[in-house]
Amino acid sequence: MDVLRRPAEEFSNDETLEHMWATRAMEHSDIYFNVLCSVDTQWLRLTPHDDLIYTHFRQDFPDLNVSYIKESEIKNSTNKAKWRVYCEKFQSIVEDYNFGTLMRADTKGDYSEQNTMLVPRVQFYAIEIARNREGLNNEVKKHHKCASKANLEAQGQSEIAA
């Protein structure tokens, strides 16, 4: 997996590398979604730098509605430049700060083709930390049957009660 940390200029479109990246990105999204289903997300910490990431995020993007992110909103030419400046603040702080990461557009949805976009890792952290702290990711448990142990146990108890 160390090959994924190498500069992009060193590679051509290698199917093996693309497959490794896609596998890693999907594993990350599966694990993260199951975590969302398992805990009270208001207390969830994604990095040792959550406070710093969140503070800078809300300073730079005070009005961004993180409940539903429109890809065109964050990737238009104006906001793309603003996000680039934001992300670069974390180059020496957050490991793999610019690694491509899958993010859900709508907090009520799961990872699906219609609800997923590719963003730099620190952008994922900024938006997900905001969603967690602002109580938006707790909606996942209401809308999806996740594979978490707590949800499986709760389903079993409700079936017994019925």
Give the Cα separation of 4 and 75 in Å (integer). Answer: 24
Give the Cα separation of 52 and 134 in Å (integer). Answer: 16
Looking at the DSSP bridge assignments, the partners of residue 68 are 106
User: Is the model more confident about 55 or about 137?
Assistant: 55
Residue 102: CB atoms within 10 A of its CB come to 19
Q: Residue 135 is part of a domain; what is its CATH number?
A: 1.10.3560.10
Structure tokens at 126: 């900024």
What pairing do the DSSP bridges indicate for beta strands 100-104 and 116-120? antiparallel
CA 44, 138, 145, 128: dihedral to nearest 10 degrees? -60
Q: What are the tens digits of pLDDT across the range 100-142?
A: 899 999 998 888 889 999 899 999 999 999 999 999 988 777 7
Burial of 105 (0-12, 13-18, 19+ CB in 10 A): middle
pLDDT grade, residue 17 (50/70/90)? Answer: low
- Residue 62 clears pLDDT 70, i.e. is over it: yes
Q: What are the tens digits of pLDDT across the range 71-94?
A: 998 999 899 999 999 999 999 999
- Residue 21 clears pLDDT 90, i.e. is over it: no
Domain residues for the domain of 49 are 2-161
DSSP 8-state symbol, 114: G
Specify the pTM: 0.77
Query: What is the total count of domains within the chain?
Result: 1
DSSP string, 18-54: HHHHHHHHHHHHHHHHHHHHHS-GGG--SSTTHHHHH
